[in-house]
Every structure is written in C-alpha cells, then in structure tokens.
Structure 1
C-alpha cells in the first residue's frame, strides 16, 4: 500500500524534472511540441488498439471464453493513454511501453493470480459470458400482483429545503 502512495507523490517531481531536462537539451518550443504530439499519439493509439480490444472482448464473451485477459488489456490501454496525455516524459515512456501487447501479456501473467473476476458462463442454451455475483432468484410479477406505496422511513422523505 505504501509503494503506490510513494509513486503518486514522486511522479509529479519526476515529470517536472524530465520536462526541465528535455527543455534544456532541445529548447522550450521543441519540448512543448513533443508534449502535444505525445498526447495526440496517446489518443490515436487508444482509438487504434482500443477498438481491437473491444472487438476481441466481444468475441470471447460470445464464444463463452473468460474475458478477464482482454478486460485487463483494456484497462492497461486506458492507463497508457492517460500517461501519454498527461504532460511529462517519464509517464510517456511508461505509456508507450504499455501499448506493446507482449508487455501487457507479461503484466497480465503477473496480475492474474491477484485478480478475481466473478461471473458465470452459459454453455447450454445460450453461449457467452454472463456477469453474475451469485444465483439470485428472479420473480416475475404481473401488474396486479404488487403495489407501489411510498416508504415512510425512506431517507429521501426528510425535511424539504425551501419551505415546502
């Protein structure tokens, strides 16, 4: 728990230092051009690879395959795009590395034992992945079989503002 906190506190200083060092080496205008182009590149790569991830996620769910790998890949792509959009070069390097599918697979293999994705697979009648966190019983009622009454103890029935 302490490592993410330390990284969160150190990251802005690292990004500012990288901007200063690159600015001193190539100049302010070229540094700004690199920052803007990395943001544009991040949006382009997210659009390019994100569509493929969504397509594979849909195919896997329709075939009844566990989509957890593709969900993690999609989350890593969002993180990568965010790192490219945020100004700074240290994050840009990490963001560009996250766009490499082999590296995402390696991260998935490291994260896989720590991630639990609950769900149920339907193999009999319909194929595909069905999100579910248990076996809830669904009761289907007709209009005459239930009534709607206001709940007197609801927190939404508190004192009204404005004198109503």
Structure 2
C-alpha cells in the first residue's frame, strides 16, 4: 500500500498536472496559462494567510477558555496543506488547496477526517482502571505464559480483573 501511494503521489499526480496545464495552455495560450498559475499562487498565499490568522485566533481563544483546541489544530493543519497545494504549480493541486482553505469545505473535510480516524483512536485507546491499560497483547510461541506450539491458545489476551458475582444476589 505505501508503494502504491508513493507511485500515485510522485508519478501519476505530476503527469495529471502536466496534462491539465498543457490542455489549458492550448485553450487559452501559454502566457495566459502562466499568468493564471502565478495569480492563483498569489491568491492562495493571501487566502492562506487570512485563514491561518483566523485559525490562530480561534486556537488562542480556545486556550483562553481552558478547552482543548482540537478543532483549531486540525484547521491549522488543513490550512497549511491547502496553502502548500495552492503554492504548488498546477490546476488540480489548486482545486484541492482551495477546498482545504475555504471554510465550508474545510469543515466537511475536517468532519470526514475526524470520523475516519476517531474509530482508530478509540480502538487503540487504553481502558482506564484496567491493569495494563486494557491493551491487547499478542501471545505467540515463546511468549511467557503460553504453550510452545501455536494453536487455539495463540490468540489475543486482554489484561484485566474479574470479580465473581453470585447470580442469586442480582436484583
């Protein structure tokens, strides 16, 4: 998977950008294409600066209020990436950068990112009050407390405590 991602990022995206630049150049002319690329880079830097300042103010306000500035930090990261995409020459990267810098679309992208990664964070989060944090440990051959051969005992164990409850005493 990482190889495929690198292939897309470093081979296919530049080829797509060059193709789109050539098509735009054939439609409106080379000098207008260059002027358009310079103009959208300048507009992107201005937009990134204004959105970055607004995100910084929201970050400081969250700290002043005593709350964790999670949303503000994620906005700042998205603004940085959006500015980088807009400063990169190319029309496809400019579209992605504009989507990351414009507040309504950035809010949608932020929700998608939070939804995507919140399940992963919750799955990896240690459980409070459980010895060892409730983390799962893989026990395999040669691990302490397991038989030497792999098999049914070669599964995930969860650290924790158990209390036996008399079912007759339940309400």
TM interval, short-chain normalised: 0.5 to 0.7
Q: Distance in 1 between matches of 2:48 and 2:102?
A: 12
> 11, 22, 35: which is aligned to 1:20?
22
The match for 1:69 is 71
Q: Distance in 1 between matches of 2:95 and 2:72?
A: 23
The match for 2:82 is 80
Q: Distance in 1 between matches of 2:28 and 2:99?
A: 23
Describe how 1:54-65 pairs up with structure 2 within 5 A: 54-65=56-67
Q: Distance in 1 between matches of 2:5 and 2:72?
A: 24
Question: How far 1:5 sits from its partner (Å)?
Answer: 2.5
**Bigger radius of gyration, 1 or 2?**
2
TM-score by length of 1: 0.66
SS across alignment from 2:89: coil
SS across alignment from 1:66: coil
- Structure 1 gap segments, 5+ residues each: 117-164
The match for 1:42 is 44
- Structure 2 gap segments, 5+ residues each: 122-171
Question: Which range moves more in the overlay, 8-17 or 103-112?
Answer: 103-112
Q: Distance in 1 between matches of 2:48 and 2:21?
A: 24
Q: Distance in 1 between matches of 2:8 and 2:48?
A: 24
1:91 aligns with 2:85: no
SS across alignment from 1:65: coil
4+ long deviations beyond 6 Å:
none
Aligned residues: 116
Q: Distance in 2 between matches of 1:18 and 1:95?
A: 16
Q: Provide Cα deviations, 1:98-127, integer angstroms capped at 9, x if missing partner.
A: 1221221122222224166xxxxxxxxxxx
Describe how 1:1-164 pairs up with structure 2 within 5 A: 1-2=1-2, 4-8=5-9, 9-113=11-115, 114=117
Q: Provide Cα deviations, 1:61-83, integer angstroms capped at 9, x if missing partner.
A: 11122211111111111111111
Q: Which of the pair has the greater relative contact order for Cα pairs under 8 Å at 6+ separation?
A: 1
